[in-house]
Chain A
Amino acid sequence: MRKVTTPLTKSIRKKLRCGEEVLLSGTLYTARDAAHKELAQLIIKKKKLPFSLKDNVIYYTGPTPKREDGFFGSCGPTTSSRMDSFTPFLLRKGLGAMIGKGRRTPRVRNLIKKHKAVYFLAVGGAGAYLAKKIKSSKVLAFHNLGPEAVYALEVRNFPLVVGIDSQGKDIYG
C-alpha cells in the first residue's frame, strides 16, 4: 500500500489513482460546515486565513471532545457534499486534498481535476478506529465553534481510499 506524507505536493497528488488505498501521515486540518463558511468568508473578503491551504489536507470531521488522556475518543469523516458549495474557494487557494465520506458534485470534481487536487474517502462510522491513528492535536482557529473548531491533527498511517484523483476520475462514477 502506498504511503504518503503531508504536505501533499502536486507531484505526489498526481501519482495517486482513483480507488487506490493510501496510508497518510503528517498534518491534517479539521474543518466542517461552520468552519467552511468562515473560511470562504475570509477568502471573499481577501483576509488572512488562520492556516495556509497550499498543498495541505482538510479533514471533514467534528471529533468528540478530548478525553482525560488528551486524545479524541472518536474522529471519523462527515458527509462531504455539505462542503461542496465552499470547496471552490478553498481549491483556488491551493488546497491539496480533502478527506470525507460520500459523493461530490460534478463542479467540485471538475475543479479537483483543474487544480490537480485529490479527494480521499475515510471509513464513515469508524470514528473510534480512526481516532487511534491521531498522535496529537491542537486547536488552531474558530475556537468558539466548539466541535466545529479547526484543529491541526498529527496522524500516522491514516487509512484512506482515493475517491477522486487529480485527473478527475471519480470512484462513484
Chain B
Amino acid sequence: MRKIRVSKIRNTVRELCVKANTLLRPDILRALKKARKKETHKTSKRILGVLLENAEIAKKEKRAICQDTGFVSVYIEIGQDVRIIGGGLKDAVNEGVMKAYKETFLRKSVVRSPLLRANTGTNTPSAIYTEIVKGNKLKMTVVPKGIGSENKSAVKMLNPTEGEKEIISFVLKVVKEAGPDACPPYILGIGIGGMFDKAPFLARKALAISIIGANPKKHLRKLENAILKKVNRLGIGPMGFGAKTTCLGVRILEYPTHIAGLPVAVSVGCHATRSASDNI
C-alpha cells in the first residue's frame, strides 16, 4: 500500500490549473502554427498569428490564455494500492483549485446555485470524477473549460441501426450551429456509447487527449479522420470569416452500449482548449 498525502494532491491540482490556463497545449500550438502556414485567407492567417502571439504573451507573463478560465473538471485515476492520508480527497482537490485561481488571478466563474446565481468567489467546487484502476499511482487530469464552447456541446441518442454516416451528420450539425460563436478553429471531443450520461462524459474526457498521434483503435481513427476532413470543408475558419481551418483535431472515446442504442455526444472545444495531467 502506497501512502499519498493530500497536500501532494492539493499542490498538484494547483500546479495543473495554473499550467492549463497559462500555457497553450503543445499539440494545439503546433496545430495552430501548421494551420497558419497553410492558410491562404489573409484575415484568417492574421487572426491565427494573433492567437500565437496571445499564447506567447500568456506564457511569458503568466497570464490566462483566455479570460474565461472555466469551470474545472478533475479526472483522477486512483491506483487500488494507494491510500490517501492527511484529509479528504475532495477537499484537497478543491483547495488546489482555489489556491491556483486566487494566486494567479484567474477568473472565478462558479455560481453556487444555477438558479440563484451567487458567485462562490473561489471557482469551486470543481467536478471531480474518480476511477479506481490497478497499480499504486494517482493520475490527475485537470480540464478548465470555458462555457462559450460548452454551450454549443450536444448529445443525441441515435438508433442502433445507424452508424458512421449519422454520427458524422450529427457532428456537422453541432459544428454548424456553433459557427463563429465558440472560438474556432475547434477541437472536437466525441463520446460514443454507454447510456445517456456516459457519452458526454467521454466526449469531454476526449478533449484532454493530445490531437497529435493516432487513435489506437483503427475504426475510431478512421472516423476521426473522416470527421476532421468534413468539418474543415464547412469553411467557418478563425472568427468565422470563412477559411480552410475550422477544426484542429478530433478525438473519439467509445464505451460498450445497449443493443438498442447508440448515444453520441460532441464536446466542442475552442482553439484554447485547456488541460494538463500529471502522475503522482
| Chain A residues proximal to chain B, CB less than 8 Å | 21, 34, 61-67, 72-76, 78-81, 101-103, 121, 123-129, 131-132, 145-147, 159, 161, 171-172
B239: A residues at CB distance < 8 A: 101, 121, 123-124, 161
| Chain B residues proximal to chain A, CB less than 8 Å | 43, 47, 50-51, 53-55, 57-58, 61-69, 105-109, 117, 119, 121, 148, 151, 179-183, 239-241, 270-272
CA distance A123 to B272 in the complex (A): 12
By beta carbon, the residue of chain B nearest A68 is: B105
By beta carbon, the residue of chain A nearest B184 is: A124
- Closest-CB distance, A50 to chain B (whole angstroms): 20
A65: B residues at CB distance < 8 A: 105-108
Assess whether A101 is in contact with B66, with CB atoms less than 8 Å apart: no
CA distance A67 to B241 in the complex (A): 33
Assess whether A127 is in contact with B105, with CB atoms less than 8 Å apart: no
CA distance A132 to B64 in the complex (A): 12
Known A62-B67, A72-B67, A128-B55; 11 more pairs at CB < 8 Å = A62-B68, A63-B67, A64-B64, A79-B182, A103-B180, A124-B148, A126-B50, A126-B54, A127-B54, A127-B63, A147-B108
Assess whether A125 is in contact with B183, with CB atoms less than 8 Å apart: yes
B109: A residues at CB distance < 8 A: 62, 147
Assess whether A172 is in contact with B240, with CB atoms less than 8 Å apart: yes
By beta carbon, the residue of chain A nearest B119 is: A146
Which of A76, A121, A147, A159 is B66 in contact with, Cβ under 8 Å? A76
B181: A residues at CB distance < 8 A: 79-81, 101-103
13 A-B interface contacts by CB (under 8 A): A67-B105, A72-B67, A73-B105, A73-B106, A78-B148, A79-B182, A102-B181, A102-B182, A103-B240, A125-B54, A125-B271, A128-B55, A146-B108
B63: A residues at CB distance < 8 A: 64, 73-74, 127-128, 131
CA distance A128 to B66 in the complex (A): 7
Assess whether B67 is in contact with A101, with CB atoms less than 8 Å apart: no
Assess whether B67 is in contact with A75, with CB atoms less than 8 Å apart: yes
Assess whether B121 is in contact with A146, with CB atoms less than 8 Å apart: yes
Assess whether B183 is in contact with A128, with CB atoms less than 8 Å apart: no
A126: B residues at CB distance < 8 A: 50-51, 53-54, 66
B271: A residues at CB distance < 8 A: 125
B183: A residues at CB distance < 8 A: 101, 124-125
Q: Using known A-B contacts A102-B240, A129-B53, A146-B121, determine if residue A74 contacts B108 with beta carbons closer than 8 Å.
A: no
Q: Using known A-B contacts A125-B270, A146-B121, determine if residue A101 contacts B64 with beta carbons closer than 8 Å.
A: no
- Closest-CB distance, B147 to chain A (whole angstroms): 9
Assess whether A123 is in contact with B47, with CB atoms less than 8 Å apart: yes
Assess whether B65 is in contact with A125, with CB atoms less than 8 Å apart: yes
CA distance A21 to B119 in the complex (A): 36
Assess whether A128 is in contact with B61, with CB atoms less than 8 Å apart: yes
- Closest-CB distance, B240 to chain A (whole angstroms): 6
Assess whether B241 is in contact with A171, with CB atoms less than 8 Å apart: yes
CA distance A73 to B66 in the complex (A): 9
CA distance A172 to B176 in the complex (A): 12
A73: B residues at CB distance < 8 A: 61-64, 67, 105-106
- Closest-CB distance, A14 to chain B (whole angstroms): 23
- Closest-CB distance, B76 to chain A (whole angstroms): 26
CA distance A126 to B61 in the complex (A): 14
Assess whether A64 is in contact with B180, with CB atoms less than 8 Å apart: no
Assess whether B68 is in contact with A123, with CB atoms less than 8 Å apart: no
- Closest-CB distance, B157 to chain A (whole angstroms): 26
By beta carbon, the residue of chain A nearest B178 is: A102
CA distance A101 to B65 in the complex (A): 16
Among A34, A72, A128, chain B packs the most CB atoms within 10 A around the CB of A128
Assess whether B65 is in contact with A128, with CB atoms less than 8 Å apart: yes
- Closest-CB distance, A87 to chain B (whole angstroms): 15
